[in-house]
Amino acid sequence: MRERQLIPYFDKEKPFFLFQNRGSGLMCPSENTPLILNSQNFLHARNLLGQEFEHILFDARTTLNLDALAIAIGTLKAGGTLVLWLDSKDHIDLDSRRWSGVEKGIITPNFNRHFYRLLQSFLFLSEHSTPSFIGGRIGPPLRNHHQSPTIEQQNIIQKILTSPADVAILTAKRGRGKSALLGMLSDEIKHKKCWLTAPNKSAVKTLQDFAKQPIIFIAPDDLCQQIQQDPTQYQQDWLLIDEAAMLPLPVLHQLVSTFERIVISTTMHSYEGTGRGFLLKFLANLHRTFQQFELIEPLRWAKGDKLEKFIEALLLLEAEDNFIQPEYDPQTAMQIRQISQSEIVKKIVDFYGLLSLAHYRTTPLDLRRLFDAPQQRFYLAENEEYLLGGLWLMQEGGFQSMALIEKICRGERRPQGNLVVQSLAFQANLPQACQLHSLRISRIAVQPKWQQHGLGQQLIQTLIEQNDVDFISVSFGYTEALFHFWRKCGFVLVQISSYKEASSGCYSMIMLRPISVAGECVVKKAQVYFQRNFPFSFHPLKKKFTFPLDCQLTDDDIHILKNFAFFHRTLFSSIGAIRRLMAISDVQHCPLLMDYCQRKEKDVQLMGGKKNWLKQCRLEVAHLLTQNNIV
C-alpha cells in the first residue's frame, strides 16, 4: 500500500493545487473536490465514521478540533492526502471555547508546542515550514472493502464460533477490519437468530456491507426495554454489539445478561475515550464466561503508517498502555504534593495515562484542558519511581456581579465554566455559592493495584488541609460505592439530577465538603434544601434517600416559584415549592399540574409539544401565586 500524506499548509489561498488528481495534472475545485472539514462542520465529523476518502482538506486556521482531526485521519485511504491548513501566528483557538471555561476562548501555547514538535519529528514540517509530500503520487482509487476475510480475521471468526465462552470480546485499533469481521461472522452463524446493536445505527454501515444477509438492528435502549419485559425471548439467540465501549456500562451489562452468545467489539486507543480502562471496569462486573480476541494488522493503510503513529502521539493514545503499574507496597515512602500546571505539562504522558486507566471516558477534550485551560490545580501521590494517584481540580466561584448571579438563578444566563456553583445557584436557589471561592474535583485517579488501600482518602485529606477555599465540590455518576466513598471523605449530598447521564448511564450527584465558616453555611443550606425538597419529587432514587416531609411554604419557596413562573427555572427543581403551594390553594384551574403530581401520563404533543406544555405549567403556577396574593 502507498503511504498516506499529511501536508501542513500556511498560505491564505485555498490549497486545492496540493491535491494530485489520480496520477496526472493538478486538481481543481470542480473535479474530484476533496472532503472539506472546518469549524462549521467539525461537530458532525462523527458521521464520517465507516467511510473512506482519498483527499481531505482540514481547515484548522481558527479552530483545531482534535476529535475531528482524528476522525479525518481515520477515514483517509492508503495513498490519500490530508492537507492541514494552519495559521502560523499566535491566535485564540476557538475550539477552546468548548473546554477552557472562557467564553471568548484562549491562546493555547502548551498544546501548540506539543503539536508543532510532533509535526517536525514526523517530518511533516521542515524547519522553514515548507509543505512537502510524504510518499508518491496518488494512484487509482482503492477498493472500498476487502470482500473476503484475511487470514487473521478468518482465524478469529473460527475461534469465536467454536469458543465455549458466553461472551467474545474483540478489540482492535481503527482500520483493522473489526466491523467487517462482525459482518462476516454473522454469515457463519447457522440455525440461530442474530441481532445487532450499536450506539449509532449509521455507524454500522461497514458491518452491514460485509454481511451477505441483512442483520436485524435494534437500538440499545429498545433492546434493554424488551429484555426487561421478557428476558427469556433471546435465550437461544446471538447478539453482536459494535463499539460497545460507547455504551453506558449499566446498559452493556443488561445487554449481555440474557443472550446465548454475545460478541462485543470495541476500539482500543480510540479518540472517543475508550481504552483498556473500559475493559477493566466492564470485566469487573461481568458474571459470564468470556474470551478476548485482538486484531493487529491494519487493512485500510500500511503497517507502520506514519499518520497513525502521528495521531497516536498527538492524542497520547499509547499513554495508557505504557503507564507503569507497580504492585501495592504498604512500606513504600509516598509523598502527596500540589504541583503547577507547567509541571503537569512536563508529566503529561504519565498523568494522562493514569487518568485514562482510571476513567476510560478520558478524551482529547480533557487533554486540551490539561495543557492550557486556566484556573486548574493538581495534586500528585508519588513514590521515588512511580506516579500512584492524582487529583485534578477546577477553581470555581468568586463572582462579583450580583446582577449576573440573579440571571443565573433565573436561568437567563449560563456562563462558561463554574459548573457546580452555577448548578447550586440555579437548582438550589443558592446565589451565595457563586460568590464564595471553591474547588471542584474534576477527577480523582488511583493506580488500579493501589485502590482500596486508602490512597484516595489521603489525597482528599491533603487537599482539605492545604486549601483555604470556602468549600470543595464533586459531581459524579451515582453508584453506591462512589457515594459511600465521598461520604467517608466528609462530603454531604446536595443534588441528584433528574435524568441519567448519556455517558455513564447513571444519575449525576453533587456532594460538598465545607472548609470555611462561610462555606459551612452554604453547604448546610444546600443540604437542607435538598432534604426538604427531594421527598416531593418523583425521582426513581427517592426510596434510597428518605427525609421527613416539610409542607410549610417559606419565603425561599416563594422566590423559587416566581423564578419558575416568570423565568426559566426547571419544573424538577421547583416541584417541592409547587406542591407546597398547591396544598394551600384551590387547584381546580390547574389541570396540568394536577395530572403531573398524580403521575397521569399525558401526550404532551396534544398540547403543542413539551415546550408549550411547560409554558402552560408556568402559567398555572402564576395563577396560584395571584390567587394567594403572593404576586
For residue range 242-259, list pLDDT tens digits in order: 988 888 888 999 999 999
Query: Among positive and negative, which fits the CA dihedral 565, 567, 571, 572?
Result: negative
CA distances from 303 to 80, 83, 138, 177, 295 (A): 15, 22, 18, 14, 13
pLDDT score for 165: 96
Least Cα distance to 264 among 179, 193, 322, 348 occurs for: 179
Angle at 17 between CA 14 and CA 22, to 5 degrees: 135
pLDDT for res 126: 59
Residue 586 has pLDDT above 70, yes or no: yes
DSSP structural state of residue 234: G
C-alpha–C-alpha distance, residues 178 and 195, integer Å = 17
What are the CA-CA distances from residue 629 to residues 622, 625, 626 (Å)? 11, 6, 5
The verdict on pTM exceeding 0.95 is no
The CATH superfamily label for domain 555-627 reads tRNA(Met) cytidine acetyltransferase, tail domain (1.20.120.890)
C-alpha 79/C-alpha 77 separation (Å) is 6
C-alpha 582/C-alpha 315 separation (Å) is: 54
DSSP 284-344: HT--S-EEEEEE-S-SSS-TT-HHHHHHHHHTTTTHHHH---PPP-TTS--EEEEE-HHHH
pLDDT of residue 22: 38
In percent, the amount of the chain with pLDDT more than 70 equals: 92
Angle at 575 between CA 572 and CA 576, to 5 degrees: 130
Enumerate the known binding-site residues: 153, 300, 444-446
For 591-615, how does the pLDDT look when each residue is reduced to its tens digit (9 = 90+)?
999 999 988 776 777 778 899 999 9
Q: How confident is the model at residue 32 (pLDDT cuts 50, 70, 90)?
A: low
Annotation: binding site for acetyl-CoA: 444-446
pLDDT over 90 at 458, yes or no: yes
Higher-confidence position of 22 and 470: 470
Give ranges for CATH 3.40.50.11040 in the chain.
5-121
Residues of the chain with CATH 1.20.120.890: 555-627
Residue of 48 and 192 predicted with greater confidence: 192
Reduced to 3 states (helix: H, G, I; strand: E, B; else coil), residue 536 is helix
Report whether pLDDT(273) > 70. no
CA-based end-to-end distance of the chain: 75
CATH architecture of the domain covering 151-295 = 3-Layer(aba) Sandwich (3.40)
Convert the pLDDT of each residue in 276-301 to its tens digit.
667 878 888 899 999 999 999 999 89
C-alpha triplet 593, 505, 357: angle, nearest 5° = 150
Tens digit of each residue's pLDDT (9 = 90 or more) over 362-407: 889 999 999 999 999 999 999 999 999 999 999 999 999 999 999 9
For residues 444 and 459, the answer to whether their CB atoms sit within 8 Å is: yes
Q: Provide the pLDDT for residue 393.
A: 98
Q: What are 62's three cell numbers?
A: 481558527
Q: Which residues are annotated as a binding site for ATP?
A: 153, 300
Report whether 226 contacts 249 (CB < 8 A). no
Q: What is the pLDDT of residue 454?
A: 95
* CATH number for region 5-121: 3.40.50.11040
> Residues spanned by CATH 3.40.50.300 within the chain?
151-295
407 vs 425: CA distance, rounded Å: 10
State pLDDT tens for residues 115-164: 999 999 998 765 444 444 333 333 333 344 446 899 999 999 999 999 99
Q: Output helix, strand, coil percentages for the chain, rounded to the nearest 5.
A: 40, 20, 40
β-strand pairing of 76-85 with 507-514: unpaired
Q: Provide the β-strand partners of residue 438.
A: 396, 471
Residue with cell 477493566: 280
Of the pLDDT bands very low, low, confident and very high (cuts 50, 70, 90), residue 433 is: very high
* pLDDT of the residue at 217: 93
As a whole number of angstroms, the distance between CA 189 and CA 592 comes to 52
Cα 513 from Cα 530, distance rounded (Å): 15
Instruction: Enter the DSSP assignment of 142.
Output: P
Nearest alpha carbon to residue 580 among 557, 547, 562: 557
Nearest one of 504, 497, 340 to 419, comparing CA atoms:
497
pLDDT tens per residue, range 406-421: 999 999 999 988 999 9
**Which architecture characterizes domain 335-544 according to CATH?**
3-Layer(aba) Sandwich (3.40)
- In the predicted model, is pLDDT for residue 473 greater than 80? yes
